[in-house]
Amino acid sequence: MSTIAQPKFDANPKEGSYERIAWYLFDSFVNDRLPEYVYDDLALAAGEIMKPMRQYASSYPINDRISQLVDCEHISKSIFALRLIPFCSDDEKLYKNLRDMFLNIKIPNENKWLLQKKKYLSVVLPYFVQYDDDEKIREDIYNYLESTRKDAVEETLRYYGGIDKFSGAFAEALKDEKKRKAKHWVYIWCFKAICQEGLLDPTAREQLKSVIKEYKLNRAKSINAFENKIIDQALKSS
């Protein structure tokens, strides 16, 4: 596999920018130059470095490589491959494979890496168009999130850069009608869980409830019973 084209970077990179590092890591991944131990770190990498890597992955044909690695015995390598799957993926075979993986990993489980994989499978399955008609997996993901609420909140806030950045990220996510529409209920559930953990002050909580109310009003004709349940739970959060 040939080296991917290097993006044009700003000659004076901004402080805290990970685009160059992300490109280097992604290029090394595509060409199988990463040491095995690096995948342990990439599997748990924060959103600041994963976001540009996902963007590179979405514009480069690596579906076959991802499909091969999600079954890899090196679990952190398989988790990293999962995290590169782009929104709106349409691969029936891969979706069924990932769905079975998610259902087969039971809680409790002493293998922490397997539990980490289940976590990311719950995140990735809604990326697929096949998920839209899969009522069972939505309920299973909901039950999984409820059973791991504290961990889910911690992961969400780590991805968004802390509680201070959550409000803006949450409102922005609900505006995305193309890529992240299938995950809207997950974001709303995260808001409810964060309220349950007492991490939002009353002002921020009420502001985000207003965002949810507006979202519900604008999508009144398209919200199904499952989504409506999550929304109502969120609006009752205190």
Give the pLDDT confidence of 79-131 residue by residue, as tens digits.
999 999 988 889 999 999 999 999 999 988 889 999 999 999 998 999 899 99
pLDDT number for residue 100 = 96
Give the pLDDT confidence of 158-207 residue by residue, as tens digits.
777 788 888 888 888 898 877 778 889 999 999 999 999 999 999 999 99
Give the pLDDT confidence of 16-46 residue by residue, as tens digits.
678 888 999 999 998 889 999 999 999 988 8
pLDDT number for residue 3 = 61
Per-residue pLDDT at 219 exceeds 70: yes
What's the CA gap between 122 and 151, in Å, rounded? 13
pLDDT number for residue 146 = 94
Nearest of 178, 229, 237, 186 to residue 208 by alpha carbon: 237
Q: What is the mean pLDDT of the chain?
A: 89
CA angle in degrees (0–180, nearest 5) for 24-129-108: 75
With 0-12 CB in 10 A as exposed, 13-18 as middle and 19+ as buried, what is 219?
Answer: middle
What's the pTM?
A: 0.83
